[in-house]
Amino acid sequence: MSGFVFSEKPIEMVEGDGAYLYDDSGREYLDMGASYACVPLGHSHEAVRSAVLDQFDRLTYVQASYPVEVRTRLYERLAGIGPGDLDNVWLCNSGTEANEAALKFARAATGNSKIIATKLAFHGRTMGSLATTWKDKYKKPYEPLMGNVEFVDYNDPDALAAAVDEETAAVIVEPIQGEGGINPASRAFLERAREATVDAGAALVFDEVQTGMGRTGTMWACETAGVVPDMLTSAKGLGNGFPVGTTLCRDWIAENYGSHASTFSGGPVISAAAEATVSTLVETDVPGNAGEVGEYLRGQLAERLGDSIREVRGQGLMIGIEVRRGSNRVLRDLALDHGVLALPAGRTVVRLLPPLTIGREQADEVVDALETVLG
């Protein structure tokens, strides 16, 4: 028997608790990847558990056209945390769908079709989002994809401004590129993207599927630059492990989005998971902890790993460590010899996206392990 598409790791996980996972032999692992940022509150979080079980007992599913109380509360929560006046909420099931919706909405609202994306970007794997993703490895076997996409250098404000014109529907940017290697956007780049899209009447879309939900020390990474987009997409950590994505939009988009829907959009149980996640993030200032522990961890990594690494990048608890050899070997040694799970971001970057609830103790644990592995 073999799983199609996914390559399997040689460890079977059977239990999760906070920042830790346990395999079938009872071995403990510190989960510094949170399975790609999907459990910002840690594994088996009590608030999410009880919200999901309560909702399951009351109403598991009803078609999306009936209002459901918990989904209405989620809409309010998301509109409340959305930057600026991004008060309109579309719910879906994943990051790629959130971006797919943003691309469709931008086309409908502007009447244009051209999309500007950035080199090294990752926006998902459905045909539209995939067309805005950079790497050929993900795209080539499936071409032709959605047309009229132009890529510009990340962090080149002039190139971006030159590419945006009267035919442009949207510019889509990750405020920190995740898959591309943990590359933070400069403030100048995001500001110029804002100016150019306003001038051309195009939509500015920030893909915060990975950077969102408090990971960078604020609810959204774009808050650091103070730039408010027309649409913001999120997913990964939104349901603390449950499949849910969102596209937040300004009024001018929501008033003219065309016709879009999805059967499972905002299902009651998924909405309960997301509502409990967002409420907990807000009420216990989880982003504040991510900012504080992230700063400590990045400081320790730079100080203690010194010349054994090239660079530490990122913000909050979205961290990339550029190592001097293949990252896969480092990740393997971390997992098997030290029980620390991390992620790659390209060939030479070790990526940390831990639960946002970790403390300095866990930060020290990963620095100790890296010191030994790289020493």
Ligand X SMILES: *Cc1c(COP(=O)(O)O)cnc(C)c1O
Which residues are at the interface with ligand X (CB under 6 A)?
94-96, 99, 122-124, 174, 178-179, 207, 209-210, 235-236
Inter-residue contact 203 to 170 (CB < 8 Å): yes
Instruction: Between 221 and 369, name the residue whose CB sits nearer to ligand X.
Output: 221
Question: Which has the closest alpha carbon to 243: 98, 102, 354?
Answer: 98
Q: How far apart are CA 19 and CA 10, in angstroms?
A: 20
List the structure tokens of 79.
């509109």
What is the DSSP secondary structure assignment for residue 186, as one 8-state letter? P
CB-side neighbour CA atoms (13 Å) of 245: 24
Instruction: Between 71 and 236, name the residue whose CB sits nearer to ligand X.
Output: 236
CB of 336 to ligand X, least distance (A): 26
Instruction: Between 96 and 183, name the residue whose CB sits nearer to ligand X.
Output: 96
Instruction: Between 293 and 345, name the residue whose CB sits nearer to ligand X.
Output: 345
List the structure tokens of 208.
């915060």
- Residue at shortest CB range from ligand X: 95
CB of 177 to ligand X, least distance (A): 8
Question: Which has the closest alpha carbon to 240: 206, 213, 201?
Answer: 213
Instruction: Between 207 and 230, name the residue whose CB sits nearer to ligand X.
Output: 207
CB of 94 to ligand X, least distance (A): 4
Question: Which has the closest alpha carbon to 205: 224, 230, 223?
Answer: 230
CB of 66 to ligand X, least distance (A): 26
Q: How far apart are CA 352 and CA 290, in angstroms?
A: 12
E strands, the chain, in order: 13-17, 20-23, 28-31, 88-92, 114-118, 149-152, 168-173, 176-177, 183-184, 203-207, 231-234, 245-249, 309-315, 318-323, 340-341, 343-344, 349-352
Inter-residue contact 180 to 346 (CB < 8 Å): yes
Instruction: Between 31 and 207, name the residue whose CB sits nearer to ligand X.
Output: 207
Instruction: Between 96 and 357, name the residue whose CB sits nearer to ligand X.
Output: 96
CB of 283 to ligand X, least distance (A): 26
CB of 130 to ligand X, least distance (A): 10
Q: How far apart are CA 297 and CA 366, in angstroms?
A: 9
CB of 361 to ligand X, least distance (A): 28
Inter-residue contact 237 to 215 (CB < 8 Å): yes
Instruction: Between 214 and 309, name the residue whose CB sits nearer to ligand X.
Output: 214
Longest dimension (CA), the chain: 60
CB of 38 to ligand X, least distance (A): 9
